[in-house]
Structure 1
Amino acid sequence: MVIYNIGTGLVISRREDGSWSPPSAISSLGVGWGAQAGGELTDFIIILRTNDAVKTFSSNAHLSFGAGLSAAVGSVGRAAEANLRVGDGGCAACCTYSCSKGAFFGCSLEGSIVTTRRRENSRFYGSQTITASDILLGSMSQAPAAAILYHALSDLYSTLS
């Protein structure tokens, strides 16, 4: 079965000093093929384990190729994916975890294009020239509007380490 996905989200990086970068807005559009049935709404956490992975997400656009397994029944669902991301910011392997809702089961091979939502970043930060690299790899201070996100990430990170 051929599938498609479309979505928007944020990417944020953990700095060497343990703090979190400001968030950068992204969007994705993809297609896939696999044995699947049903429909689901999914929230993803993409693990960028290296500085090269953050640089890849800092690019204007990149391609993602990978494989995944997913299941959801009602408000309980999980998925795991492994993928390779390639773009003008480099190439990096990433792991993806998620929580899903719906009635769905499947496994697939997928490809997607992920782009930086420059207009949203410009609006949020008040600068027409800001880039995802400035946000994720630069020395910008944390965004006060993302305080709830920083608190949730710190709580999550402290329980995992």
Structure 2
Amino acid sequence: MKKQKSYTVDEATKVLEHFCAYQERCHKEVEQKLYDLQMIPEAKEKIILHLLQHNFLNEERFAKAFVRGKFSIKKWGKIKIVNELKFKNISSYNIKTALKEINEEEYFSTLQKIAKKKMSLIREPNAFKKKNKLVTFLISKGYESELIYKIVNTLI
């Protein structure tokens, strides 16, 4: 069995500075990393405080980057984004602030594009079943049902 390397507080701080500099992180991810490094609670607190003071760790910045990324790259809807942020223990205030990163017109037009693209891929002769498959897909992407029905009803 491989013995895990033990870290001093300074070494662990450097590891986590790199971890946070590479990509935006939330507190939960940092705490998991500290747990993986087997740091004691006092060391964890000291390191997290250091990361916060030196702006390596910023929950609001993380939430905004997360929202922009998941919407523009993965084309997720707000519901799915909010659920993921809640899972990462992001505060309601930061979630609300981060959602402002999404332009409403862009949000609606992205949903339309996804719906049209998926519509062309669904090989279902029955219009009702086709509509149902499309709605189910869009809900799984995390879009709001009232927007989905507004768009789906114009397509089918």
Q: TM-score range by the shorter chain?
A: under 0.3
Q: Which has the higher strand share?
A: 1
TM-score (norm 2): 0.21
Q: Which has the higher helix share?
A: 2
Could you say which structure has the greater relative contact order, defined with CA pairs below 8 angstroms and 6 or more residues apart? Answer: 1
